[in-house]
Structure 1
């Protein structure tokens, strides 16, 4: 890939993001601020819509109905994010990156996603920490793509399996079509990555050459090569990891429901975990504030929960997840900076991106 195309790629995906500079020209601060305003407005709307009929006294009624379930919330949160680190370490196995560095980089990126706009944490994982991982940004990005694909597949499968009776036929059909597409795509990638390389190479060679075609060609083959190196057995192992990860995530919701005395059926928390995590696909403020609460309330109400209980549950649980994940990632980030005696400001560190993609 030519240097000009590589520079164009970075401009398309990274240029003008808050705190990120690809070219030598610093982005306009006012323009960057305007880019964050729509997300904040979307979050504000969803928060208003979720809590518009909730009386402030409902928040004061929150009690720990069964305190023993605190152990479940803490234990399954630890298990879920530890397994995420294990899964990504398995993806990075061809690069030689160990569990310690993968866990630190992954948790730091998740923490950054919760406090910085436009998924800056994922960009940091791909570019800022490529040297720490001993891998090129291209390879890291392909693992991030695979990670997201696995998560979406499991979440859509869980969502379709737990849809309440009140869901419209059209929405149910859309969910089932999405599941079919994600299932087919995942099966093709896992079992047909090697077979797809040559046909796709011939297809791209026949297309009119342009910067866009060259860019798509580059990233498609990066993803396929990543999966090819992991192999069929490794890909199936990653799928199993993903299933266990989301089981633990679901048990966080179940434990929190028992802890807060939420009245719902057994399926309600599992519907909530799929809906709330899929809600991150909706553009909003960092951390998915507003969309998470709305998804939790809607899904739990479809399984018998009262509106006030469901809304308060979503808010309390979201606060826990944001605090725990951001706290863990922040601690690992600070420990590493102290260990290597790094005094560079965080925003300056984020700006340290390559001009060209390796």
Structure 2
């Protein structure tokens, strides 16, 4: 094993340990019989699970195409690149999918890596804002006080930050440069300034009307994501407060911020279980449901993205092993 491989392997070990801990913590009191008890009580809700998954991820592709409009990238190309990157994020460590989107597919998109990176930043800001809003609005009373208070503070900060960025982007560049100029010369500080200026530049190009459209699209995307959980809960006939699925989808996606294995395996299941239990669901069923819905999300998104990736490689007659391509990726973001 080369020194580079060794460093990458060492970086992934803590994440897998975190995942192992959360899986143990989530399922430590779940009896094996509870896994077998999960069944389709109302099979028609399968259509809801599939339909809202398809709608949500199609709209993600539409949203990113809108962000990439200034580069002239087509919907088909943006959809292929986005779904491939999401699939890669689910199976590879260190957010390799996002790195591939920024560097590997820059030529396909006809854009500079820095321009693509600015859209990725904006995408994350919009998603965190909407997910945080859902979480704060649906939190059950059984969640720890620290989580509730932390969510309130995070939502307030992200709301103010996003509103300022979206509606005042045209006037922010000079104050941001002045703010960072007050810090001592530092590589990390310089990168943070660079990333923030990229996001501001993208928002300025979109304009206020364009930014509002992106925000509305983000709201619809997460409505579809929430309806996947609602459909799945109705599918198995789980009796729960109407707010339960919405807290589960928001808390589960916020759990991706925890350093863990690819796909947030472990933290995702714990977050779903905690959310459903806080809204009156039994602990065992909640844990098994978290595992089942996570499996669906991983299989559907990774399967679709992987299939799109393979079809494109065959059409392009690309026979280079994927791991070799990954080795050529830059080690740092632009």
| TM-score, length basis structure 2 | 0.95
- 1:11 equivalent in structure 2: none
Distance change >3 Å, CA 219–CA 165, structure 1 → 2: closer
Pick from 156, 159, 173 the counterpart of residue 132 of structure 2: 156
Pick from 1, 6, 9 the counterpart of residue 33 of structure 1: 9
CA distance in 1, matches of 2:8, 2:130: 34
CA distance in 1, matches of 2:178, 2:271: 44
Unaligned runs of 5+ in 1: 1-17, 19-25
Pick from 82, 96, 101 the counterpart of residue 106 of structure 1: 82
For 1:128-139, list aligned pairs within 5 A: 128-139=104-115
Contact kept, 8 Å, 1:254 with 1:269, in 2: the verdict is: yes
Instruction: Note if 1:192 corresponds to 2:176.
Output: no
Q: Over residues 191-247 of structure 1, what are the superposed CA-to-partner deviations in whole Å (9 max), with x where a residue is unaligned?
A: 111111122334445654454444333322222111111111111100000000000
Instruction: Note if 1:175 corresponds to 2:157.
Output: no
- 2:66 equivalent in structure 1: 90
CA distance in 1, matches of 2:330, 2:19: 33
Contact kept, 8 Å, 1:262 with 1:313, in 2: the verdict is: no
- 2:243 equivalent in structure 1: 267
Contact kept, 8 Å, 2:130 with 2:222, in 1: the verdict is: yes
- 1:124 equivalent in structure 2: 100
Distance change >3 Å, CA 55–CA 99, structure 1 → 2: same
- 2:122 equivalent in structure 1: 146
Count residues with an aligned counterpart: 334
Shift in Å at residue 31 of structure 1? 3.1
Unaligned runs of 5+ in 2: none
- 1:115 equivalent in structure 2: 91
Shift in Å at residue 298 of structure 1? 0.5
- 2:51 equivalent in structure 1: 75
CA distance in 2, matches of 1:229, 1:264: 44
CA distance in 2, matches of 1:357, 1:311: 36
Contact kept, 8 Å, 1:263 with 1:306, in 2: the verdict is: no
Contact kept, 8 Å, 2:84 with 2:306, in 1: the verdict is: yes
- 1:255 equivalent in structure 2: 231
- 2:319 equivalent in structure 1: 343
Aligned CA-pair RMSD:
1.8
CA distance in 1, matches of 2:88, 2:112: 21
- 1:310 equivalent in structure 2: 286
Q: Which runs of 4+ in 1 moved over 6 A?
A: 355-358
Shift in Å at residue 168 of structure 1? 4.3
